[in-house]
Structure 1
Amino acid sequence: MHRPWWLWCVVVACLLVVSPDRAVAADVFESWLRPAQPPADGFESFPVSPHASAGSEVRALARGQVVAVGQGGRSVTLEHLFHENHELRRVRSEYTGLEGVTWRPGQSVERGQGVGRVGAGGKREVRLLEGSRVLPDAEARRFTEARGRLPLPAEESVLLLISHAANELRMYERGREVRRVEVGFGQGEGRKRLRGDNRTPMGMYFVVDKHRGDFPGAYGAYYGGHWIRLNYPNPWDADWGVSQGVISRNVRDGIARAWRERKLTTASTKLGSGIGLHGWAGEWSLAESGGRLSWGCVVLHNPDITALYGRVPPGSMVVIF
């Protein structure tokens, strides 16, 4: 039986979707940078009291997407995506005791935009959920207070995304990809935690120093003539250090302040320091090295670090995931 050409196209497309052997892997760089809905740029403060004047407006805690509207327009649920460290996180906010909800699932809501009015009873409930867990009010307040401002990596003037799994670096200028290069990492497996573990960190960092030319010392040649320093450790590295008794809370707070200002963080703790991007003492290959080269830094081929060096100014965001 003769079948029209378009039917064969449909069959092939279906096979590509359902066949594990043919499925196309999602691009981890684009999935992280440009998720299905616009990420939140910060959260409003969580309400202190459930009581409010009947008819007053209830506002969205953050930018998000409507995922559910209660029967009769008495409740609405929003989903919020946001970038934190090297992760793309997801939470939901629920607003009940409302009236006059006109939103529909799939619509986008901006931070502070009205989602409905307080019902006649004068009591509305706002809940924040991580997965299926409802955050207690005190925890929800701490959560929103700590995230009044959130990064929007796609809007950075210069952004470097670096994937451990793909051994790849991609450079973006205001969200537009401009270069892809192969990279190697530290000799130690896993995420950097302590000085001397020879591991490469995972997280969001900023360029704080650059140098090009000769490097003194026995290992100077291993810079490949270029050095782009990052402000490791960051607040999340420091949080781990506090939890393990490696650093104090005061040291952690100092690291957080310097990191927010895109400045160098302390180099004197057991968490280590001196992490950055550089070249190598000659050519290298993934096949021969497995990408395990440095004492914790990100290693580029010398022509690549030469090409990138002038396009990555101090203050540039670098995310290693």
Structure 2
Amino acid sequence: MTEPSAGPECPGHVPRFLLRHGWLWSCLVVALVSPGALAEEPDVFEAWLRPAHAPADGFDAWTDLGGAKPGAEVRSLARGRVVEATGESVTLEHLHHENHELQRVRAVYSGLASVTLRPGDGVSRGQVLGRVGAGASGVLHTDRELSPAEARRFTRERARLPQPLEEPVLVLISHARNELRLYERGVERARVEVGFGQGEGPKQERGDNRTPVGMYFIVQTVRGNITGPYSAYYGGHWLRVNYPNPWDASRGVKRGWLTEKTREKIARAWTAREATDASTRLGSGIGFHGWSGEWSLEQSGGRLSWGCVVFHPGDITRLYERMPQGTMVVLF
């Protein structure tokens, strides 16, 4: 529940002769698109957790190459992969986890000397890419080309980045699939069906009955006799996450719902994996709990709570102790 007033809240090879008989063409088409021959649908959990190359654990400071001394070393900002390279230029792709999204950043360096990297090469943070040559320049791209000042701010704000794959315990939750998976140091240990808030879409403000998307941490766990007006719905288990997080708070600042000072306070508490301000218009009291009885996705559509993640009673009993305080939770 959310916001209680008290308490916890075909084969690949086609025989040549078939291609010579037009009357068999329709059979061939059926064979080629049969379910067994189609590629499996990508696993959204694994794609987020284990992308094509290792996500950055942080960015070094961006520096302008225009004023750099000829012959000076040019180093990679972060862990990444070479996507383009010539004798005088190199383009790197950096992946990083930010809130509930996997972001892609490209760093393009031109006018270099001594570039020996090739497309597909992996690079580490601080690795030498080449040396400053005539007319050297560098550009950082997110969804657009950043100005030098924006690039400096971007890297400064991301000097340290989360590494979900290395978390002692990680919980990933897909809204689209009504599914939760629990990992221990990157190894999947459990997957269960879950329900969400009665409101459609990501949570925006107090009382909208929606479940948020984002990266949070479990900050409170309670089992047993839970008191309060909604106690019957918890199924004897409650695990609270620290919604709102810094991205939620930034949204609130843009809408005029809270001040920059409050946003900074929320960011500090979130970084420390502590409870965040519950008094703003963004709302609060988001967590995991059981239910008053058994439920089915077919009957409820998975729309049960006032914003929390709802477990089947047996699943919350089985997994409660495996999700301690400090556990990273990502809803996407």
| Same topology, TM > 0.5 | yes
**Scaled by the length of structure 1, what TM-score is found?**
0.92
Change (3 A) 1:278 1:63: same
Q: Report the CA distance between 1:52 and its aligned residue.
A: 1.8
C-alpha distance in 1 between matches for 2:33 and 2:191: 26
What runs of 5+ residues in structure 2 fail to find an aligned partner? Answer: 1-10, 16-27
Residue 108 of structure 1 corresponds to which residue in structure 2? 122
Query: Which runs of structure 2 are paired with 1:186-265 in the superposition (5 Å)?
Result: 186-265=197-276
Q: Report the CA distance between 1:6 and its aligned residue.
A: 7.5
Query: Which runs of structure 2 are paired with 1:16-165 in the superposition (5 Å)?
Result: 22-48=38-64, 50-70=66-86, 73-119=87-133, 121=134, 124-131=136-143, 133-165=144-176
- Answer yes or no: is the 8 Å Cα contact 1:92–1:130 preserved in 2: yes
C-alpha distance in 1 between matches for 2:166 and 2:32: 37
Q: Report the CA distance between 1:290 and its aligned residue.
A: 0.2
Q: Report the CA distance between 1:15 and its aligned residue.
A: 3.4
**Identical aligned residues as a percent:** 62
Q: Report the CA distance between 1:135 and its aligned residue.
A: 0.6
Does the residue aligned with 1:310 lie in a helix, a strand or coil? helix
Alignment partner of 1:7 out of 2, 13, 16: 13
Q: Report the CA distance between 1:282 and its aligned residue.
A: 0.3
Q: What CA deviation, in whole Å up to 9, does each residue of 1:117-148 have, x standing for no partner?
A: 112x4x521110124x2111111111111100
Letter in 1 for 2:265: G
C-alpha distance in 2 between matches for 1:50 and 1:44: 18
Q: Report the CA distance between 1:43 and its aligned residue.
A: 0.6
Q: Report the CA distance between 1:232 and its aligned residue.
A: 0.2
Change (3 A) 1:8 1:247: same
Does the residue aligned with 2:322 lie in a helix, a strand or coil? coil
Structure ranking higher on relative contact order (CA contacts 8 Å, 6+ apart): 2
C-alpha distance in 2 between matches for 1:15 and 1:251: 58
C-alpha distance in 1 between matches for 2:145 and 2:202: 30
- Answer yes or no: is the 8 Å Cα contact 1:155–1:174 preserved in 2: yes
Does the residue aligned with 2:55 lie in a helix, a strand or coil? coil
Does the residue aligned with 2:326 lie in a helix, a strand or coil? coil
- Answer yes or no: is the 8 Å Cα contact 1:16–1:24 preserved in 2: no
Does the residue aligned with 1:135 lie in a helix, a strand or coil? coil
Residue 5 of structure 2 corresponds to which residue in structure 1? none
Does the residue aligned with 2:202 lie in a helix, a strand or coil? coil
Letter in 1 for 2:250: D
Letter in 2 for 1:126: G
Does the residue aligned with 1:221 lie in a helix, a strand or coil? helix
Residue 299 of structure 1 corresponds to which residue in structure 2? 310
Change (3 A) 1:33 1:226: same
What runs of 5+ residues in structure 1 fail to find an aligned partner? Answer: none
- Answer yes or no: is the 8 Å Cα contact 1:215–1:225 preserved in 2: yes
- Answer yes or no: is the 8 Å Cα contact 2:71–2:131 preserved in 1: yes
Letter in 2 for 1:309: Y
Does the residue aligned with 2:217 lie in a helix, a strand or coil? strand
Question: Which runs of 4 or more aligned residues in structure 1 lie more than 3 Å from their structure 2 counterparts after TM superposition?
Answer: 14-17
C-alpha distance in 1 between matches for 2:158 and 2:229: 44
Q: What CA deviation, in whole Å up to 9, does each residue of 1:147-199 have, x standing for no partner?
A: 00111111110000000000000000000000000000000001101011000
Q: Report the CA distance between 1:50 and its aligned residue.
A: 2.2
Q: Report the CA distance between 1:7 and its aligned residue.
A: 2.8
**Scaled by the length of structure 2, what TM-score is found?**
0.89
Residue 168 of structure 1 corresponds to which residue in structure 2? 179
C-alpha distance in 2 between matches for 1:46 and 1:270: 36
Q: What CA deviation, in whole Å up to 9, does each residue of 1:247-287 have, x standing for no partner?
A: 11110010001001111001111100010000000000000
Letter in 2 for 1:55: G
RMSD: 2.0
C-alpha distance in 2 between matches for 1:311 and 1:24: 30
Does the residue aligned with 2:216 lie in a helix, a strand or coil? strand
